[in-house]
């Protein structure tokens, strides 16, 4: 039995869909040329929207191919969306399905801007809200714990007595530096992997500075951050004693060099950080959770100036920071009380 296609490639989309898509994401040739409504979106976001739309078109092709002959706005209703949700494999969780629906309505909003897609957005939100979520152990970790973990990894690597040419010392120090750097400056995965010496990481007196232009940031908001003296010293050691001995590091200027004679990819960094945090903390902390850790620590330690987290994370508005990254004070207080009760003496 032939398996249904999970995704319809862009080249196989109906001509009307491709025409609408190209118009929605058209880039103007100059200041006087009209641009598409979605041209401001980051490339990664655009890819996610395109994938979600191609996934929905593949479902329509298998479910009722005649629907593809209609205009995009006339193909779906609540019944079709319900069938689409039911068609997803059991391994696809509610949060993921909710994301697919959200990206689908975003695609439709751009290619059919005169239609009202609020009903589809509400369905996406309900699906995501009703999904079973994983235990939020990672929320118990804040930036100071992650920073200390990174410093410990680097110190242990140096104190091992082994040569900096050995693989274990190189990777342990490098991974520790990644973790401590992320704890101070919680960059997104793509930005972190793309850091280049002399371009994004530059020297300023005795300290190192992260100077990342707007075009290299998802939200198009530049980041300039002076790294602490303590961590600047570790960067010096890494650049002078660790990185030069990593195979192939001399062929590129990316900060994070892998042992495979090329820069570390975003996925490679993600896997290393999860592995290190799982071993040290008992559960993995992914890269995105460093952003939550920073926001939560700031909100707890300096609530009066908590709006500064917006700039640290590169958000356009504090609403995004507050909604998705800061654990509410009631949750912090509730968990603190629970720890006190569970650790208290029976009297």
In a domain, 114, yes or no: yes
279: part of which helix (H) or strand (E)?
helix 266-281
Assess whether 15 and 116 both reside in one domain: yes
Q: What are phi and psi of 226, to 5 degrees?
A: -85, 125
Assess whether 124 and 212 both reside in one domain: no
The neighbouring-strand residues paired with 211 are 224
Last residue of a domain, one of 80, 104, 129: 129
Q: In sequence order, which residues have a C-beta less than 8 Å from that of residue 51 and are 6 or more positions away?
A: 7, 103
Assess whether 148 and 122 both reside in one domain: no
Assess whether 143 and 280 both reside in one domain: yes
- pLDDT of amino acid 294: 60
Tokens 């793509």, residue located:
190
Assess whether 249 and 159 both reside in one domain: yes
- pLDDT of amino acid 316: 46
173, 158 Cβ separation under 8 angstroms: yes
- pLDDT of amino acid 34: 57
Query: What own/partner pairs with CB < 8 Å and gap ≥ 24 does 281-287 have?
Result: 281/141, 281/145, 281/149, 283/137, 283/138, 284/138, 285/138, 285/141, 285/146, 286/138, 287/182, 287/188, 287/189, 287/192
In a domain, 298, yes or no: no
Q: In sequence order, which residues have a C-beta less than 8 Å from that of residue 272 and are 6 or more positions away?
A: 171, 175, 178, 264
197, 246 Cβ separation under 8 angstroms: no
In a domain, 323, yes or no: no
Distance in angstroms (rounded) separating the CA atoms of residues 24 and 32: 17
The closest alpha carbon to 290, from 135, 175, 151, 181, belongs to 181
Domain that holds residue 174: 138-288
Assess whether 91 and 227 both reside in one domain: no
Which pTM value belongs to this model? 0.59
CATH of the domain at 40: 1.10.150
Assess whether 252 and 165 both reside in one domain: yes
In a domain, 95, yes or no: yes
In a domain, 202, yes or no: yes
* Cross-sheet strand order for the sheet of 207-212: 201-204, 207-212, 223-226
Quick one: how many helices (H) and strands (E) in the chain?
A: 14, 3
- pLDDT of amino acid 1: 34
In a domain, 269, yes or no: yes
The closest alpha carbon to 146, from 311, 268, 290, belongs to 290
What Cα–Cα distance (Å) separates residue 314 from each residue in 185, 224, 310, 318, 321? Answer: 11, 11, 6, 10, 9
Assess whether 119 and 162 both reside in one domain: no
Assess whether 229 and 263 both reside in one domain: yes
Neighbours of 54 (CB within 10 A): 20
Assess whether 210 and 231 both reside in one domain: yes
Distance of CA 199 to the CA centre of its chain: 22
**Tokens at 197, concatenated:** 């010496």
Mean pLDDT by 10 residues, the chain (347 residues): 67 94 77 68 85 93 92 93 90 84 94 94 87 57 85 94 93 96 86 94 91 75 83 95 94 93 93 94 86 57 45 46 42 41 43
3-class SS of residue 196: strand
CATH of the domain at 248: 1.10.443.10
In a domain, 254, yes or no: yes
Last residue of a domain, one of 92, 109, 129: 129
- pLDDT of amino acid 144: 81
- pLDDT of amino acid 142: 77
Last residue of a domain, one of 103, 129, 155: 129
Assess whether 108 and 152 both reside in one domain: no
What Cα–Cα distance (Å) separates residue 34 from each residue in 107, 131, 137, 215, 305? Answer: 19, 41, 47, 21, 40
In a domain, 67, yes or no: yes
Tokens 């490339």, residue located:
43
The closest alpha carbon to 127, from 107, 104, 102, 90, belongs to 102
Number of domains in the chain: 2
| DSSP for residue 264 | P
Assess whether 74 and 100 both reside in one domain: yes
**Tokens at 57, concatenated:** 């078109």
């Amino acid at each position: 039995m032939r398996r249904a296609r999970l995704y319809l490639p862009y080249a196989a989309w109906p001509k009307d869909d491709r025409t609408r898509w190209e118009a929605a994401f058209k880039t103007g040739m100059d200041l006087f040329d009209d641009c598409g409504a979605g041209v401001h979106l980051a490339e990664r976001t655009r890819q996610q929207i395109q994938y979600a739309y191609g996934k929905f078109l593949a479902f329509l092709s298998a479910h009722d191919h005649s629907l593809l002959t209609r205009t995009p706005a006339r193909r779906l209703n609540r019944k079709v969306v319900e069938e689409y949700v039911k068609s997803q494999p059991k391994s696809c969780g509610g949060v993921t399905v909710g994301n697919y629906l959200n990206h689908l309505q975003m695609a439709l909003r751009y290619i059919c801007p005169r239609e009202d897609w609020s009903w589809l957005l509400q369905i996406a939100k309900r699906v995501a809200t009703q999904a079973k979520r994983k235990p939020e152990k990672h929320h118990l970790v804040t930036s100071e714990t992650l920073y200390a973990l990174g410093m410990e990894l680097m110190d242990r690597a140096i104190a091992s007595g082994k040569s900096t040419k050995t693989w274990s010392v190189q990777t342990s120090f490098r991974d520790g530096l990644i973790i401590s750097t992320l704890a101070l400056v919680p960059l997104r995965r793509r930005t972190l992997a793309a850091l280049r010496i002399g371009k994004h990481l530059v020297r300023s007196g005795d300290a190192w500075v992260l100077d990342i232009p707007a075009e290299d940031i998802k939200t198009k908001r530049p980041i300039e951050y002076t790294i602490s003296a303590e961590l600047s010293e570790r960067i010096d050691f890494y650049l002078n004693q660790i990185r030069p001995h990593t195979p192939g590091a001399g062929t590129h200027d990316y900060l994070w060099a892998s042992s495979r004679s090329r820069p570390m990819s975003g996925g490679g960094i993600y896997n290393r950080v999860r592995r290190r945090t799982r071993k040290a903390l008992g559960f993995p902390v992914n890269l995105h959770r460093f952003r939550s850790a920073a926001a939560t620590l700031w909100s707890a330690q300096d609530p009066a100036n908590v709006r500064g987290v917006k700039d640290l994370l590169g958000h356009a508005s504090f609403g995004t920071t507050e909604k998705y990254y800061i654990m509410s004070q009631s949750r912090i207080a509730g968990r603190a009380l629970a720890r006190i009760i569970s650790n208290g003496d029976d009297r």
